[in-house]
Chains A and B, each alone.
Chain A
């Protein structure tokens, strides 16, 4: 009885919508037999996007996009609203996982040569989707409207302001004025909730259409080349002969992968909780150390480390160059070998990219370029560097603290790492060299000649000259021998 009723309702809708005729062929279109577990990352990314849309809609019911009330509404969501923290947690971990899955998807497509003929447009639309996703990440971070958000927006706008001629206009347009103000949050809200997601959904539709129209890339075989004249014919023949329907075979694998993704997402959200909000976005609070989200940490490191003369090139030129290379890639190598084993440059490129991003991200978390501002008063001189020192050397140790040398120079692994550690400095420099370095500075170190009395310089030199390496080179033989 129930089954019959359900069937008749379904038939009523189907008679009008005709979904079986329109969507049916797409669901059951043949895909290569070799499309197995390597092909699930795209579906995982799309699932995460759906999670983002759903959690985002729920968040927007409570979040107030006004500069005055945004922070309070976030605090309400995080601490007072029933399961509000979990919603925020799902949204932020969803964003992390979405960018991760999209990156893996892109790398897989690149290494499997799936961007080559006839899937050039699929790749280009994918690149645009990636840019939109990063845009969602950045604008989402700004909507968190805390210290990280405020300064992140400041850095982003300072970069945009460097664009020749129209830079100030771009900043004005995005911020709603020359500086970060009440309208800025509204504009970022519009970007995050309407403009970028709208673009994303449209591009995603095109991407899916192209995936169906151009077919799923077959798993590459070394030595089997893409020939634009014969590829389509060969592909259609192979898929027709040995392919399998997308639903349920490939779709089943996608669903298992999506189930795993949801599990990982829920566990991360449950275990690690939401991000921030980290302090009110008040530029007068100087006791703060704002940081971008994980995915922008490598850019954070690059911006901190790059020499001034490269700034404009790296900030404006590099993204353009990277974008141009990604867009032009299918035209530059649109045919030929697909398998990574026969594409050493592709493997080299991916390796260099991953090592660079990994190293920069690691450096960003260490941020050795930032002085440790309270080291001078909070990190004691290590006890072993105090014992057995003369009264003058002890005064020198106080000079090291008092003049805030420790903020940049570590002792026994503690302190800033902007300058070299001072352990063993007496084995590297003699007293004259230490005096010269202290007074005149050099490298990144400012000159302290104007800030130290002769007595202080003598004392600090006396102290530093007691800091010998445990092992020292013998100048005559070059051997390393234990000191004392």
Chain B
């Protein structure tokens, strides 16, 4: 009796399995061509941008792009251009196919739109424009003393809580435009506040920003980054 029951159960099991169309090992046909370019924001960001700008657009080595102020001030056409061609003299590489990079123009558009969708915010009227010319270095020294010296030290070589912004190697790797953006937007992920008139800090005008950037840029030297500043090609300085 038990044997017969066992046989019936086994038989039913086999029939049930035979009718079963689902099994864990059954492969699914890939719906997307593995070599077709990705057109979704997150995989594009995580593959091409996260390395420098951070996993969620913050806490990376380079400027956070998960910054509503920055995104509200930055022009999409300008973002497209620097993403495609990179920024000469800095570490921002050319990512567009037009300049030998991996991203098609359509993918770069997806990235820019995705940044706005995920991290964007309303435009802020009190902030100075993101793009601008250099101002007067002398006037910039005054602005630096009043707005920046508290953290970066009186001469900019570092002070309480922030490092040197006049280091010649740092300046050599940073464009004037990047300095301007840093002054306006700060680095909100690392504690440097934006000077956009919020948070109780004295706001900076367009001219003041141009001036302080000019003061910083005035610290650039012809041959930055000598590992032993005290040694010249003629030998050790006295």
User: Is A309 part of the contact surface with B, judged by Cβ < 8 Å?
Assistant: no
Binds B, one of A152-160, A227-235, A344-352, A396-404: A396-404
Interchain CA distance A13-B107 in the complex, whole Å: 75
Q: Are A79 and B170 in contact (CB under 8 A)?
A: no
The answer, among B27, B59, B162, B226, for a CB contact under 8 Å with A79, is B27
Q: Are B29 and A395 in contact (CB under 8 A)?
A: no
Q: Which residues of A contact B34 (CB under 8 A)?
A: 279
- With A377-B48, A386-B60 already in contact, the answer to whether A395 and B93 are too (CB < 8 A) is no
Q: Separation in Å of the A406 CB from the closest CB of chain B? A: 7
User: Is A199 part of the contact surface with B, judged by Cβ < 8 Å?
Assistant: no
Q: Are B158 and A395 in contact (CB under 8 A)?
A: no
The answer, among B49, B93, B163, for a CB contact under 8 Å with A392, is B163
Q: Are A376 and B51 in contact (CB under 8 A)?
A: yes
Interchain CA distance A459-B169 in the complex, whole Å: 7
- With A386-B59, A435-B227 already in contact, the answer to whether A455 and B169 are too (CB < 8 A) is yes
- With A381-B61, A453-B225 already in contact, the answer to whether A374 and B167 are too (CB < 8 A) is no
Q: Are A395 and B174 in contact (CB under 8 A)?
A: yes
**Residues 26-81 of A contacting B (Cβ, < 8 Å):** 75, 78-79
Q: Separation in Å of the B142 CB from the closest CB of chain A? A: 21
User: Is A474 part of the contact surface with B, judged by Cβ < 8 Å?
Assistant: no
User: Is A394 part of the contact surface with B, judged by Cβ < 8 Å?
Assistant: yes
Q: Separation in Å of the B19 CB from the closest CB of chain A? A: 12
Q: Separation in Å of the A97 CB from the closest CB of chain B? A: 15
User: Is A176 part of the contact surface with B, judged by Cβ < 8 Å?
Assistant: no
User: Is B185 part of the contact surface with A, judged by Cβ < 8 Å?
Assistant: no
B interface, over-half SS: loop
Q: Which residues of A contact B29 (CB under 8 A)?
A: 75, 78-79
Q: Are B60 and A391 in contact (CB under 8 A)?
A: no
Q: Which residues of B contact A383 (CB under 8 A)?
A: 54, 59
User: Is A250 part of the contact surface with B, judged by Cβ < 8 Å?
Assistant: no
Interchain CA distance A132-B5 in the complex, whole Å: 45
Q: Are A458 and B227 in contact (CB under 8 A)?
A: yes
The answer, among A378, A387, A389, A394, for a CB contact under 8 Å with B50, is A378
Q: Are B50 and A380 in contact (CB under 8 A)?
A: yes
Q: Are B172 and A391 in contact (CB under 8 A)?
A: no
Q: Which residues of B contact A453 (CB under 8 A)?
A: 172, 225
Q: Are A387 and B190 in contact (CB under 8 A)?
A: yes
User: Is B200 part of the contact surface with A, judged by Cβ < 8 Å?
Assistant: no
Binds B, one of A200-208, A264-272, A291-299, A361-369: A264-272
Q: Separation in Å of the A291 CB from the closest CB of chain B? A: 16
Q: Are B170 and A401 in contact (CB under 8 A)?
A: no
Shortest Cβ distance from A439 into B: residue: B227
User: Is B7 part of the contact surface with A, judged by Cβ < 8 Å?
Assistant: no
Q: Separation in Å of the A251 CB from the closest CB of chain B? A: 23
Q: Separation in Å of the B3 CB from the closest CB of chain A? A: 17
Q: Are A374 and B227 in contact (CB under 8 A)?
A: no
Q: Are B169 and A458 in contact (CB under 8 A)?
A: yes
- With A78-B27, A398-B91 already in contact, the answer to whether A377 and B47 are too (CB < 8 A) is yes
Interchain CA distance A386-B49 in the complex, whole Å: 16
User: Is A99 part of the contact surface with B, judged by Cβ < 8 Å?
Assistant: no
Interchain CA distance A423-B173 in the complex, whole Å: 24
Q: Which residues of B contact A188 (CB under 8 A)?
A: none
Q: Separation in Å of the B60 CB from the closest CB of chain A? A: 5
- With A79-B27, A85-B26, A398-B61 already in contact, the answer to whether A454 and B47 are too (CB < 8 A) is no
Q: Are A89 and B25 in contact (CB under 8 A)?
A: yes
Interface bits A254-284 vs B (CB < 8 Å: 1, else 0): 0000000000000001111110000100000
Q: Separation in Å of the A62 CB from the closest CB of chain B? A: 16
Interchain CA distance A56-B47 in the complex, whole Å: 41
Shortest Cβ distance from B227 into A: residue: A435
**Residues 396-442 of A contacting B (Cβ, < 8 Å):** 397-402, 406, 431-432, 435
Q: Which residues of A contact B51 (CB under 8 A)?
A: 375-381, 401, 406
Interchain CA distance A196-B70 in the complex, whole Å: 67
Q: Which residues of A contact B23 (CB under 8 A)?
A: 86, 270-271, 273
User: Is A133 part of the contact surface with B, judged by Cβ < 8 Å?
Assistant: no
Interchain CA distance A100-B66 in the complex, whole Å: 53
Interchain CA distance A85-B24 in the complex, whole Å: 12
Q: Separation in Å of the A90 CB from the closest CB of chain B? A: 10
Q: Are B224 and A455 in contact (CB under 8 A)?
A: yes
User: Is B46 part of the contact surface with A, judged by Cβ < 8 Å?
Assistant: yes
**Residues 6-24 of B contacting A (Cβ, < 8 Å):** 23-24
Q: Are B52 and A392 in contact (CB under 8 A)?
A: no
The answer, among A386, A400, A458, for a CB contact under 8 Å with B225, is A458
User: Is A101 part of the contact surface with B, judged by Cβ < 8 Å?
Assistant: no
The answer, among B27, B48, B52, B170, for a CB contact under 8 Å with A391, is B170
Interface bits B167-209 vs A (CB < 8 Å: 1, else 0): 1111011100000000000000010000000000000000000
- With A391-B165, A392-B169, A392-B170 already in contact, the answer to whether A457 and B62 are too (CB < 8 A) is no
Q: Are A274 and B27 in contact (CB under 8 A)?
A: yes
The answer, among B27, B59, B62, for a CB contact under 8 Å with A85, is B27
Shortest Cβ distance from A396 into B: residue: B61
Q: Are B48 and A395 in contact (CB under 8 A)?
A: no
- With A374-B47, A380-B59, A395-B173 already in contact, the answer to whether A271 and B163 are too (CB < 8 A) is no
The answer, among B25, B35, B170, for a CB contact under 8 Å with A459, is B170
Q: Which residues of A contact B169 (CB under 8 A)?
A: 392, 395, 454-456, 458-459, 462
Q: Which residues of B contact A400 (CB under 8 A)?
A: 61
User: Is A324 part of the contact surface with B, judged by Cβ < 8 Å?
Assistant: no
User: Is B4 part of the contact surface with A, judged by Cβ < 8 Å?
Assistant: no
User: Is A461 part of the contact surface with B, judged by Cβ < 8 Å?
Assistant: yes
Q: Separation in Å of the A457 CB from the closest CB of chain B? A: 6
User: Is A106 part of the contact surface with B, judged by Cβ < 8 Å?
Assistant: no
Q: Which residues of A contact B50 (CB under 8 A)?
A: 377-380
26 contacts between A and B (CB under 8 A): A78-B29, A85-B25, A270-B25, A271-B23, A287-B35, A377-B49, A378-B47, A378-B48, A378-B50, A378-B51, A379-B50, A380-B52, A381-B51, A390-B163, A390-B167, A391-B163, A393-B163, A394-B61, A395-B169, A400-B61, A401-B52, A401-B61, A402-B93, A406-B51, A455-B172, A459-B169
Starting from the known contacts A374-B47, A377-B50, A378-B50, 14 additional A-B residue pairs (CB-CB under 8 Å) come to A85-B25, A85-B27, A270-B25, A272-B25, A273-B23, A377-B47, A377-B48, A381-B61, A395-B169, A397-B61, A398-B52, A399-B91, A431-B227, A457-B225
